[in-house]
Chain A
Amino acid sequence: MTKITIIAFDGTPFNLDAENGSTVMENAIRNGVPGIEAECGGACACATCHVYVDEAWTGEVGEPEPMEEDMLDFAYEVQPNSRLSCQIKVRDELDGLIVRVPERQG
């Protein structure tokens, strides 16, 4: 299990044990993190699972693929550390990862 923290927009932290290979979005949905809608169920087709990756983690998490970058065009208040959480797969190196949920999902 890898420990990840998803911080809701109101500041509530969700400290989760995530299975390697699962996506950050799946963990958010399973644990009812408010503000992650994931309408398309992880198909990279809705941009309603947008999160901000903590600055300390942007390097390890990496850059979005072109398809995700395209989808981010539909998200709200996109920043350089924006990612779609359904496209971030949990792995050992991400132990301690922190992401924040934006104010709204478009």
Chain B
Amino acid sequence: MSTTTRTDILVIGAGPVGLFAVFELGLLDLKCHLIDILDRPGGQCAELYPEKPIYDIPAWPSITAQGLVDKLMEQIEPFGPTFTFNRMVAGLERLEDGSFRVTTDEGEIFEAKAIVIAAGGGSFQPKRPPIPGIEEYEGTSVFYSVRRMEDFRDHDILIVGGGDSALDWTLNLQPLARRLTLVHRRAEFRAAPDSVNRMFALHEEEKIAFQIGQVSGLKGEGGKLQAAIVKGPHGEVEIPCTRLLPFFGLTMKLGPIADWGLNLHENLVPVDTEKFQTSEPGIFAVGDINWYPGKLKLILSGFHEVALMAQAAKRHISPGERIVFQYTTSSTSLQKKLGVAG
């Protein structure tokens, strides 16, 4: 299945810093492909605080986080970056010719001349709910996403949560389940009203069960789940189940970056402040994920970092080539790249 996608630079993470890297690298004629586990660009800005105004972006006295992402997407458009969303970068290795191969958790393969790690606080991953002993069942009975619906056929399924994921999977898995129970803390849902109505209709027809409460414990053996204890308004009930799908939102975890043989400093990637290069030549790190003395986790700082990093990446890829310093206001060659030449 796997074809290999080739690009100049592979950017891991499409947060604000990864996005602006596309601009600075683009001015130096380097093409970027970006991979992010989220389903859209913007990193923390898009996922955690899209509506909040940011007050410390130079020349923008106030701009919402999503507004900033939209502007960045507009600004990098002339460079035609390509994106792969909903994928986690799992593997990173150096090939014999000095270039790099990147693999995703779904087995896609990318090859690039240099790597830019713009992974922020790490990849957004599903939160593990604080149910004692849940680890023991993960991957066998407890799942945080549905990759193959067949793995759920004829099971007693318990879905926990009140958002779109919980509701969508309740609707999608109901036809295959032996029995399906939805557990949520209250009778109000954050999900699309249509899904909520369909869920209540199924409940009315007694095709699913709905229980108000919070899961407080699990029963089972050797990774095989048998039941969940749910604390509800009228005390505890035990709900038999062999599959549990908790949907408790996302949190940022460093993830596979720890396994790539890079030096780390408290879960951050140390870089020098000239090239923003990691301990591995050709692998750069910018934005919240990197560390150097005096580092501030600000978008502003990330933007500065990518400008210097781009120069270093260009030198890494084309060692002999002379890089001419130019301004976008006055250089016709830069203006051509931006599509604004008169």
- Nearest chain A CB to B16's CB is how many angstroms away? 15
Q: 1/0 per position for B241-257, CB-CB distance to A under 8 A?
A: 00000001101000000
By the criterion CB–CB under 8 Å, are B48 and A73 in contact?
Answer: no
Chain B residues with a Cβ closer than 8 Å to the other chain, count: 19
Hey, which chain B residues are within 8 Å of A78, CB to CB?
A: 185, 214
By the criterion CB–CB under 8 Å, are B49 and A43 in contact?
Answer: yes
The answer, among B48, B127, B185, for a CB contact under 8 Å with A106, is: B127
Q: 1/0 per position for B102-146, CB-CB distance to A under 8 A?
A: 000000000000000000000000010110000000000000000
Which residues of B from 210 to 249 have beta carbons under 8 Å from A? 214, 216, 248-249
The answer, among B52, B162, B251, for a CB contact under 8 Å with A73, is: B162
Chain B binding surface SS class: loop
Chain A binding surface SS class: loop
Hey, which chain A residues are within 8 Å of B129, CB to CB?
A: 76, 106
By the criterion CB–CB under 8 Å, are B184 and A45 in contact?
Answer: no
- Residue on A with the closest CB to B128? A106
Given contacts A39-B251, A69-B188, A106-B248, A74 and B127 within 8 Å (CB-CB) = yes
Hey, which chain A residues are within 8 Å of B49, CB to CB?
A: 40, 43, 45
By the criterion CB–CB under 8 Å, are B161 and A73 in contact?
Answer: yes
By the criterion CB–CB under 8 Å, are B184 and A73 in contact?
Answer: yes
- Nearest chain A CB to B213's CB is how many angstroms away? 10
The answer, among B52, B130, B186, B216, for a CB contact under 8 Å with A43, is: B52
By the criterion CB–CB under 8 Å, are A72 and B185 in contact?
Answer: yes
In the complex, A92 has a CB within 8 A of chain B: no
In the complex, A10 has a CB within 8 A of chain B: no
Which residues of A from 70 to 92 have beta carbons under 8 Å from B? 70, 72-74, 76-78
Q: How far is the CA of A39 from the CA of B184 in the complex (A)?
A: 24
- Nearest chain A CB to B158's CB is how many angstroms away? 16
By the criterion CB–CB under 8 Å, are A76 and B130 in contact?
Answer: yes
- Residue on B with the closest CB to A39? B251
By the criterion CB–CB under 8 Å, are A73 and B130 in contact?
Answer: no
Hey, which chain B residues are within 8 Å of A104, CB to CB?
A: 130
Chain A residues with a Cβ closer than 8 Å to the other chain, count: 16
In the complex, B71 has a CB within 8 A of chain A: no
- Nearest chain B CB to A42's CB is how many angstroms away? 9
The answer, among B48, B52, B248, for a CB contact under 8 Å with A74, is: B248
Q: How far is the CA of A69 from the CA of B190 in the complex (A)?
A: 9
- Nearest chain B CB to A106's CB is how many angstroms away? 5
In the complex, B81 has a CB within 8 A of chain A: no
- Residue on A with the closest CB to B160? A73
- Nearest chain B CB to A49's CB is how many angstroms away? 14
Which residues of B from 25 to 62 have beta carbons under 8 Å from A? 48-49, 52
By the criterion CB–CB under 8 Å, are A77 and B48 in contact?
Answer: no
In the complex, B163 has a CB within 8 A of chain A: yes
Q: How far is the CA of A40 from the CA of B130 in the complex (A)?
A: 19
- Nearest chain A CB to B128's CB is how many angstroms away? 8
- Nearest chain A CB to B79's CB is how many angstroms away? 31
Hey, which chain A residues are within 8 Å of B251, CB to CB?
A: 39, 46
By the criterion CB–CB under 8 Å, are A70 and B48 in contact?
Answer: no
Q: How far is the CA of A45 from the CA of B49 in the complex (A)?
A: 7
- Nearest chain A CB to B36's CB is how many angstroms away? 18
Hey, which chain B residues are within 8 Å of A77, CB to CB?
A: 214, 216
Hey, which chain B residues are within 8 Å of A106, CB to CB?
A: 127, 129-130, 248
By the criterion CB–CB under 8 Å, are B48 and A40 in contact?
Answer: yes
Q: How far is the CA of A68 from the CA of B110 in the complex (A)?
A: 41
By the criterion CB–CB under 8 Å, are A45 and B248 in contact?
Answer: no
Chain A positions near chain B (C-beta within 8 angstroms): 39-40, 43, 45-47, 69-70, 72-74, 76-78, 104, 106
Could you jot down 6 A-B contacts, CB within 8 Å?
Answer: A39-B251, A43-B49, A70-B190, A73-B248, A74-B248, A78-B185
User: 6 closest A-B pairs (Cβ-Cβ)?
Assistant: A43-B49, A76-B130, A45-B48, A70-B190, A74-B249, A74-B248
Chain B positions near chain A (C-beta within 8 angstroms): 48-49, 52, 127, 129-130, 161-163, 184-186, 188, 190, 214, 216, 248-249, 251
